[in-house]
Structure 1
Amino acid sequence: MGKKRSREADAQGDVTMADPAVDKKNEDDSSDDEDMDIVNVDFELFNYDPQIDFHGVKTLLRQLFDTDATLFDLSGLSDLIVEQNTIGSTCKVDDKANDAYAFLTVLNLQEHRAKKPIAQLVEYLTERAKTDESLAGAVPEVLASGQHVGLVLAERLLNMPAEVIPPMWSCMVDEIEAAVEDKEPYEFSHYLVVSRTYREVASTIDQGERKQKKARDVAELQYFHPEDEEMRKHAVASGTYEFTKEGEVADSKRAFQEMGIKPCGLMMLIEADKFQGAVQAIAEYVGTAT
């Protein structure tokens, strides 16, 4: 894949998705021998454009940090991301002027340490890391070390096909390499990837003994981003943390189902020399899992 730094879009893929309206028509017609119609959707990667991408990125950041999003200057953080337009990508459909369906970026925490959004994030991530023993021994120390740590932020709409994600990561690796060659501040000691996971929880509407037992039985960690499960294998430290502003999971989020979800944060600290291997591994993982 070519480097995207020199042009606005360098990656495009056809992803086959079922058209639900056509599918419903076929179902109503009870046609057993008629193939379901499909549509091809072109997902394209673009460099950030401050005039276009601010609101789309801010919306996805709010999703990434869930209930804790109000703790940060999301507008300032969004500005930092979209102004850094040679590193990372937005993924869109049809036109550059549309809002992003997904975004990926890396920010140098040391380079931006004096800026309010980054200072807030470093403090938050340090405190949250201390709540998980798998993170507590490494993340706070690295964040306080003065080393150049790359904070990786990535989020996408929940119904995005996973196949579009590996090209975004591969593009970013290429862009970081090109930036280092140009003496830009992207030579990192570690990458800290921030993501989200969740567990299933029982509804508070009916906390009968049977449902409570079922909640305990199915409370395994689940991933909003399937590639995170593979990426964790390459981390020197990884773990989850609860959101600080988390309350009871709203029963409105469990509409028409017995079980709901309890989101939590995920951090993965990856040494710089392991990062490219992690990106290659998730591309292979997504390819075999879909």
Structure 2
Amino acid sequence: MVVNPAENASPIESLSGHTILCGAGRTGRNIIERFCHLQVPFVVIEQDTGAIARAQNNVRKKFNLEFAVVTGDATEDDTLRRAGIERAAGLVAALSDDKDNLFATLTARSLNPKLRIVTRVNDEKNNRSKMEKAGADRVVSTEIIGGMRIASEMIRPEVVKFLDRMGNAAGKTIRFTELPLANIRTPELAARREALTQSPHGPEKLLIQDIGRHTGLLVVAVKSSRVDPETAQERDLFHLRKQYRFAPRGDFELHPDDILVVIGTQDTLNQITGATDDAAGANT
């Protein structure tokens, strides 16, 4: 949860669908900054009051905001409950020690089986599988990600520069994100989606070109569980369940359960999904 320091902060108890960030160290501070930039509702759990102060000062200077904090041990049930674990949509375990991230993941999963959990790992070789068995949906090695970024800066610097500028554009936040078709509230598209849901083989169709026409979003890819028997080949990525169709043609037919990968402004995404600024970016 991000609040204006001039206003009273809403209680954590009122939050729902937020992200819990465990750890406000060097990695955590970068995550906090990104969450603030993308207007993601979040709560930070941290024991070190010094780390909290440094993170809050950074956010005040850059965004004139403050974030909600629960002071305590992120591996304990009570601490996670005070952060609203039962109502949260996601949790990031970004503590400095793999053991702590493991226990935070295990505890969080037991308290909220539907939670999306992303866990930091230092010892990739020995601890990745443990994190996954504990309930992490994704395990991220900061060393590997850092190495990939450095290599990309050398090999394709203009692409990296473009993506950085896109994600940090002044004035408007440009998002490169997933958008489930089920979340679209634009009347024309929602009506077609419902018609497809009621009658999958009926005359009503929803095409990629309809998304651009009614929303202004650029669709980069479509993630779908279905297979087109006429075009799927043995080695075609789309032949695999829930894989991506990249650069789909305008006449590509969508299904109600498809997930779009799109580029668009945060304001446009909010308007399309009916989200408020406080909830924006929660699925990023």
Pick the structure with more strand per residue: 1
Q: TM-score if structure 2 supplies the norm length?
A: 0.26
